[in-house]
Amino acid sequence: MKLPPLVQAFVLHFGEMGSRWGINRTVGQIYALLYVSPDPLNAEQIVDALGVSRSNVSMGLKELQAWNLAIPKHIPDDRRDHFTTPDDVWQILRTLAEERKKREVDPTLSVLRELLMQTPGSAEERHAQQRMAEMHGLIEQLTTWYDDVKRLETERLASLLALGARVTRLLEAKDKVVGLVRGRTPSAKEG
């Protein structure tokens, strides 16, 4: 690799993490290189920087484009394709979450729906369907929450994330107010 040590460390780490996330090591390295590069890069520049084959880079760029994480950029007077990543890290996070949902969560929900629609033939299958229904309900609830959160403006989302576990205090305060409005006194357990 012909990269400055700081950039090389980042690129190598992303390659290792990529393989843990279920993507090819080279794809992770290409993404990391594009992300930290001040200018869009063409395939040959990526090959030179990473020391990988041209075909590996081509396949990696196609995969990143399918995930909407590599964006083609036209450079005047240069016929080669150049690539960069989205500038906004929040947009990158949203893109990653949406693509993972499409590839992992949505198919699981579909299979669960199909299995739950079948008539169980035994007590064992009824038990299994009951457990699947619980899982389906949780995933549906998380999906609904995700759909709500993804529509938040970036500033609101950042504020929500900054709250962390302190959001439970807001929920506790809401419970107290709702209890007072309904005319009941909060129990000792509720505070």
Residues 74 and 98 reside in one and the same domain:
no
Please name the residues in contact with 151: beta carbons below 8 A apart, sequence gap of 6 or more: none
Residues 119 and 183 reside in one and the same domain:
no
Residues 80 and 14 reside in one and the same domain:
yes
Strands 71-73 and 82-84, how do they pair?
Answer: antiparallel
Averaged pLDDT score across all residues of the chain: 90
Rounded CA separation 29/79 (Å): 24
Number of domains in the chain: 3
Rounded CA separation 72/79 (Å): 12
Give per-residue pLDDT as tens, 128-172. 999 999 999 999 999 999 999 889 999 998 888 888 888 888 888
pTM score, whole prediction: 0.72
Give the residue numbers spanning the domain of 41.
5-84
> Is the CB of residue 9 less than 8 Å from the CB of residue 19?
no
Residues 116 and 139 reside in one and the same domain:
yes
Sheet holding 82-84, edge to edge: 41-42, 82-84, 71-73
Residues 40 and 57 reside in one and the same domain:
yes
Structure tokens at 1: 């690799």
Q: Give the model's pLDDT for residue 19.
A: 78
